[in-house]
Structure 1
Amino acid sequence: MGLRCNRPRCSRSGSLRSWEQALQLPRSLFTCNMLVVLKLSGEIVVNTPAEGSVCFPNLKILHLKWVKYVNDDSVRKLFPSCPVLEDLLIWRCNDDNVITFSIFASALKRLIIDFGSQYSQDYYKLEINAPALEYLNLRDGRSEHFSFQNLSSLVQAHLDVCRVGGRLVNDYGYIIFHLLDQLSNVKFLSLSVDDMKRSKRPGDPHESCWIQAQPLLHLRIVVIVGFEDLTDELELVQYILENAKVLKAMTIKA
């Protein structure tokens, strides 16, 4: 169950699981020069040290499953310290001590996120800044705010975003509209049914979000899952058919 990292040389691959008690990561791990693959899961606390003392110069694959963090800063400092990180997988647990989950990774190409669903009065946020990102698989039932920046390289996106509880249920479709608006360069897009419900503008229950959406200049393939023939869903389908100029295939599943 242990993971050792001895400077100046350390293993190129590390894996640590704990299901019995919370484990603090050793400080030496955060400056492990040779580490290429790191996988953490279970009752582990990611206690990122202060600025300037975190560096994974060769880390390319990072998996974080159900781990906890000290606070928002523990997340914010972690990913920019991985300059060659290409593959990131995150499965969040409840009560992981993070409100704003920030992913800033300049070399990241593949990102899989499962935030699950959690009712809370906290205003959860997800921030992604990844200019090299090509693949995104996002399942998020807790965030109420999304900030996607520098995703011009994104080719494939799978979105399953719904809100089980919280303050913004009635206009959550409008938030999803803005999220999709930031993914205008994708060629393959997969949407779950909850992404298309309640897609009215806040304050105007009769005006659809999609009339203000940006053209889908690169979209070639669309998959819609959980279609129920609702008005909001039909409006989105109509918008895609009219504005995706290079669309080759659309698959709709009940």
Structure 2
Amino acid sequence: MFRLEGSQSFDASHVNTWVAVSLVCGVQELDLFIRIEGRTDHALPRDLFTSRTMVVLKLGTGFVMNVPPSVCMQSLKILHLHSVELIDDDSIYRLICGCPVLDELSMKGCVGKDVHVIHIFAPVLTKLFIRPLVYYYHFDEVFKHKIALDTPALLYLELETDSVEGYLVKNLSHLVTVNIGIGYWPKAENFSDSVTDLFVGISSIQCLHAYSDFLVVLHQCNYHLPMFHNLTSLRLYMSGLAAWETMFWLLQKSPRLETLVFSNGSLLSPNRCWDQPQNVSKCLGSHLKVVEIFDLFEWEVYKEELKMVEYFLKNAEVLKKLIIHSGNLDFAVEKEKAKVKVLKKLLSFPRGSKVCQIVMR
């Protein structure tokens, strides 16, 4: 293993020499997280792309992946790229296709201005992390690009994007867990259709953690979603005026949901009244066992949030536990008295499940 990381800058010729020597010695793991003196576009030796021994390759920051026409890294299983510029569509495709046993891929800040489609074709890939991909980010210029996934063995996907124009997906039927935070691009051509295609592609998942503008995207896409028949665990970040309406609509699409977690503060926006859904989601009547809510009770919407919690208690017929993380109550002058008051109120609500426990933390 050869590892070089730190905040100091290194001479480009020295780095190339070290990499070349490590390749000759049959290095299996190469970790480079450094700065090159006076440069932000250092190209790595081409011999790197034909290494037969490399198993783990982790690169950052400021390297340029000048991918040659022929790539053969037959042993590479783990590839992490952090602020490494991939100069065009072909370079990304050649790099990933040249790693036939790649099992884990992480990309962050890897898109140059000439990249239009990030095409990830990896037959045995099981873990994929795609984080904000813009390499040079300016407030007055955002590089728009599409993500194309063809990963039939993928089990875990973490997708956090803020400048993606669309998605092209296929062969994602084995996915188990997805962590997703996507930004909304109303001016992107066919954005709603491509996002719908993404949701169709991940519809077989069992666990979903959604944050950022996820619910906003669903709302703007007119709720065109498939059924999530296998989804048992859902964690949501609530944001936007229509967040709770969209959330209940998502529950309608998740008939086997067992665990529902709200990962952030208020479930409702100020000046919004709780409007009870007309239909009770199937999962509430037969599968939902745990509801957990973090940082509940903004004082501006305190009464309305209580109505929503009451709805869950009344309609979740097999609920075993309601866990409340009081959050903003901690700022009350008499914190413990405030918690006791809220807990008494919760205990007074009718419950559809006789075995449900209410826990307040």
TM-score bucket of the superposed structures, by smaller chain: 0.7 to 0.9
Q: Quick check: 1:11 aligned with 2:30?
A: no
Give the whole-Å Cα distance in 2 for the aligned partners of 1:7 and 1:172: 44
Q: Choose from 124, 130, 144 the match for 1:107.
A: 124
1:124 alignment partner AA:
H
Note the 1:202-241 alignment, pairs <5 A.
Answer: 209-210=222-223, 212-228=224-240, 230-231=241-242, 233-241=243-251
1:187 alignment partner AA:
Q
Q: Deviations over 1:175-209 (max 9, x none)?
A: 544422221001001111411115456xxxxxx62
Note the 1:28-43 alignment, pairs <5 A.
Answer: 28-43=47-62
Q: Choose from 188, 191, 199 the match for 1:168.
A: 188
Higher strand share: 1
Structure 1 residues 36, 13: closer, same or farther in 2, change over 3 A? same
Q: Deviations over 1:145-192 (max 9, x none)?
A: 1112111111000111114x77339x8666544422221001001111
Q: Name the Cα RMSD after superposition.
A: 2.6
Query: What is the Cα deviation at residue 127 of structure 1?
Result: 1.0
Give the whole-Å Cα distance in 2 for the aligned partners of 1:128 and 1:5: 35
Structure 1 residues 67, 193: closer, same or farther in 2, change over 3 A? closer
TM-score (norm 2): 0.60
Q: Deviations over 1:58-116 (max 9, x none)?
A: 10011100011232111011111111111111111564642211111111111111125
Could you say what secondary structure the match of 1:88 adopts? strand
Q: Quick check: 1:136 aligned with 2:152?
A: no
After the TM superposition, which of the residue ranges 242-251 and 111-120 deviates more from structure 2? Answer: 111-120
Give the whole-Å Cα distance in 2 for the aligned partners of 1:173 and 1:192: 18
Query: What is the Cα deviation at residue 7 of structure 1?
Result: 6.9
Give the whole-Å Cα distance in 1 for the aligned partners of 2:179 and 2:21: 36
Q: Choose from 250, 256, 275 the match for 1:246.
A: 256
The alignment covers a number of residue pairs equal to 241
Structure 1 residues 59, 144: closer, same or farther in 2, change over 3 A? same
Verify the 8 A CA contact 1:8 1:32 in the aligned structure 2: no
Could you say what secondary structure the match of 1:115 adopts? coil
Give the whole-Å Cα distance in 2 for the aligned partners of 1:6 and 1:94: 27
Could you say what secondary structure the match of 2:255 adopts? coil
TM-score (norm 1): 0.84
Q: Quick check: 1:146 aligned with 2:167?
A: yes
1:66 alignment partner AA:
S
Higher helix share: 2
Query: What is the Cα deviation at residue 242 of structure 1?
Result: 2.1
- Name the counterpart of 1:204: none
Give the whole-Å Cα distance in 1 for the aligned partners of 2:181 and 2:258: 22
Point out the structure with max Rg over C-alpha: 2
Note the 1:69-88 alignment, pairs <5 A.
Answer: 69-88=86-105
- Name the counterpart of 2:180: 159
Give the whole-Å Cα distance in 2 for the aligned partners of 1:173 and 1:251: 26
Give the whole-Å Cα distance in 1 for the aligned partners of 2:91 and 2:233: 37
Give the whole-Å Cα distance in 1 for the aligned partners of 2:147 and 2:53: 30
Verify the 8 A CA contact 2:104 2:126 in the aligned structure 1: yes
Instruction: Work out the percentage of aligned pairs sharing the same amino acid.
Output: 27
- Name the counterpart of 2:73: 56
Structure 1 residues 116, 45: closer, same or farther in 2, change over 3 A? closer
| Higher RCO, 1 vs 2 (CA within 8 Å, ≥6 residues apart) | 1
Structure 1 residues 247, 198: closer, same or farther in 2, change over 3 A? closer
